[in-house]
């Protein structure tokens, strides 16, 4: 099955391993050497801009960088994004390919050193993906159909079966990809979680000049998809109201100044609406259509349940 959304790639890279690749070694492999060395860190001329003052600090102990000239910084992924103009996913793919290549001992891929850091930096509560599949197991399909009332014919292309490990134990969940290569996780009970990194999800959809639809969570997105019975577009899923600044940055970057917001009917949802308006976004508050319910999925489930009660399924039997 082809993924209809190119921004939601289902190939996984070991994030903790990639972040453990020493930044100093990577810069050395790129032919970039420190201007000044100190105990535990070094200063570089930023390779992505004019920097006569050597304002790029690389902390070797924490494996983080900070550009004092631009107030930017972060992990090696952020640095590769800045240096090469890559997206987060492209940067991870680049680093994964580079670390798999047989590089010289002086390059950034020092196997024993990286493995040591990897072991030291990976805490026991980190979720590590073991397996990704396009086919959801039957019990998760039943949960989506029976409990959430999601039509899998239209919803399945956006979902993955994620088997992951945390603390030495294996788990299984529904996965919904975000723009940074992470996944939002849901099981058939009450568990909600994330395979880092956390980010928004963007669905390209149809190009019919319809306002962008914005949701707090992917269950609401799948609910509207089911209600419409076909592709809806374009859409953005926050995956958490804490991602609203990223969503606003995306909207401004794409020149989108009008949205339909399907937020929850709670204080956080109302605050999110106000934040969008304050950012100069014209917002149509769609929650008024389900004002008696907490969110769109609750409304959708209630509608489907009432319809089933009004029109009971036909009983099979012999015709007279």
SS (H, E, C) the chain: CCCCCCCCCCCCCCHHHHHCCCHHHHHHHCCCCCCEECCCEEEECCCCCCCCCCCEEEECCCCEEEECCCCEEECHHHHHHHHHCCCHHHHHHHHHHHHHCCCCCCCCCCHHHHHHHHHHHCCCCCCEEEEEECCCCHHHHHHHHHHCCCCHHHHHHHCEEEEEEECCEEEEEEEEECCCCCEEEECCCCCEEEECCCCCEEECCCCCCCCEEEECCHHHHHHHHHHHCCCCCCEEECCCHHHHHHHHHHHHHCCCCEEEEECCCCHHHHHHHHHHHHCCCEEEEHHHHHCCCCCHHHHHHHHHHHHHHHCCCCCCCCCC
pLDDT at 65: 93
pLDDT at 187: 93
pLDDT at 207: 59
Residue 318 has pLDDT above 80, yes or no: no
Percent of the chain with pLDDT over 90: 45
Residue 272 has pLDDT above 90, yes or no: yes
Dig out the tokens for 271 from the structure.
Answer: 């605050």
Query: How many angstroms separate the CA atoms of 91 and 17, rounded?
Result: 13
pLDDT tens per residue across span 55-112: 899 999 999 998 887 778 899 999 988 888 888 878 888 888 764 333 333 333 333 3
pLDDT tens per residue across span 200-220: 999 987 656 788 999 999 999
Cβ atoms of residues 246 and 197 within 8 Å: no
Query: How many angstroms separate the CA atoms of 88 and 161, rounded?
Result: 22
Q: What is the pTM of this model?
A: 0.61
pLDDT tens per residue across span 4-31: 444 444 445 678 888 889 999 888 888 8
């Amino acid at each position: 099955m082809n993924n209809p959304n190119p921004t939601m790639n289902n190939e996984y890279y070991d994030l903790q391993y990639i972040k453990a690749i020493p930044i100093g070694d990577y810069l050395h492999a790129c032919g970039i050497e420190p201007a000044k060395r100190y105990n535990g860190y070094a200063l570089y001329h930023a390779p992505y801009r004019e920097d006569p003052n050597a304002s790029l600090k690389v902390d070797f102990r924490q494996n983080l960088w900070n550009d004092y000239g631009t107030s930017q910084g972060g992990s090696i992924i952020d640095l590769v994004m800045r240096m090469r103009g890559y997206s987060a996913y492209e940067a991870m793919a680049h680093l994964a390919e580079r670390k798999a290549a047989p590089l010289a001992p002086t390059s950034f891929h020092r196997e024993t050193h990286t493995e040591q850091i990897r072991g030291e930096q990976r805490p026991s509560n980190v979720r590590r993906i073991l397996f990704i599949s396009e086919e959801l197991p039957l019990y998760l399909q039943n949960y989506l159909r029976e409990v959430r009332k999601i039509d899998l014919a239209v919803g399945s292309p956006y979902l993955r079966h994620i088997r992951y490990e945390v603390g030495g134990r294996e788990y299984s969940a529904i996965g919904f990809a975000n723009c940074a290569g992470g996944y939002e996780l849901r099981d058939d009970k009450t568990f909600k979680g994330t395979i880092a990194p956390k980010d928004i999800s963007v669905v390209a959809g149809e190009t019919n000049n319809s306002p962008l639809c914005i949701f707090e969570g992917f269950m609401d997105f799948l609910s509207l998809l089911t209600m419409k019975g076909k592709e809806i577009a374009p859409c953005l899923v926050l995956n958490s109201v804490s991602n609203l600044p990223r969503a606003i940055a995306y909207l401004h970057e794409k020149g989108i100044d009008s949205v339909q917001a399907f937020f929850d009917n709670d204080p956080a949802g109302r605050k999110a609406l106000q934040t969008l308006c304050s950012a100069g976004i014209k917002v149509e508050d769609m929650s008024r259509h389900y004002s008696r319910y907490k969110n769109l999925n609750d409304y959708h489930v209630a509608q489907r349940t009432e319809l089933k009660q009004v029109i009971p399924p036909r009983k099979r039997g012999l015709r007279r």
